[in-house]
Homo-oligomer: A and B are copies of this chain.
Amino acid sequence: MGHVILVTGGARSGKSSHAEARVAALPGERVYIATARPEDDEMRARIAHHIARRGPGWLTLEEPFDLAGALDRTDGRGPRLVDCLTLWLANLMFADRDWSPEADLLIAALARQNSPVVLVSNEVGMGIVPENALARAFRDAQGWLNQRVAAMANEVEFVVAGLPLRLK
């Protein structure tokens, strides 16, 4: 199985930069699988910031839903960076799709890859319980998704203030 690395952390914790550095250190063509959809100015600014930081030398793919397919289609080329599981989960939930079978598909795909995959995700459960029921459901789903990916990953890192803590 290709090496699977999960990089998790808070918003603006430096997890994407760290995940990019992990991918850049691996041989082969680097593939960036973006789950973000540039639907508002804030998101467009964030995406532009990430593209500028990565620089040239990356193949970029936009895939808001079918991560399993994107991984299968790019396997064998080189290391893939999936940034990020949180937006992927949000895309599924806003489209009223059940995230749990989609997570099964993702995990099955990760298990059959030959090239490495680095996945970025967010910690969203360390604040006060949200008053909004959808936010609570999202928080639960994100926590369970992170646990499932972490359970099958070869390495898990938790990033705080740009510095990785090895969890596994």
A residues lining the B interface (CB < 8 Å): 6, 8-14, 42, 121, 123-130, 133, 135-136, 138-140, 142-144, 146-147, 149-151, 156, 158, 160-163, 165, 167-168
15 of the cross-chain contacts (CB-CB < 8 Å) are A9-B126, A10-B125, A11-B143, A12-B143, A42-B133, A123-B161, A124-B128, A127-B128, A128-B130, A146-B161, A149-B161, A151-B162, A156-B161, A156-B163, A165-B167
| Chain B residue nearest to A135 in the complex (CB) | B128
By Cβ-Cβ distance, the 9 closest A-B pairs, closest first, are A127-B127, A12-B143, A10-B125, A11-B125, A126-B126, A150-B161, A147-B162, A10-B126, A163-B167
Known: A161-B147, A163-B168, A165-B167. A125 touches B126 (CB 8 A): yes
Which residues does chain B contribute within 8 Å of A12, judged by CB atoms? 125, 139-140, 142-144, 147
Q: How many copies altogether? A: 3
Closest to A86 in B: B129
- Please determine whether B8 and A139 come into contact, CB atoms closer than 8 angstroms: no
Tell whether, in the assembled complex, residue B143 and residue A8 are in contact, meaning their CB atoms are under 8 Å apart. Answer: no
Chain B nearest CB from A50 CB (Å) reads: 13
* Assembly CA distance A6 to B160 (angstroms): 12
Determine if A11 and B139 form an interchain contact, defined as CB atoms under 8 angstroms apart: yes
Question: How far is it, in angstroms, between the C-alpha of A135 and the C-alpha of B143 when the chains are bound?
Answer: 22
Alpha-carbon gap, A116 to B9, bound state (A): 29
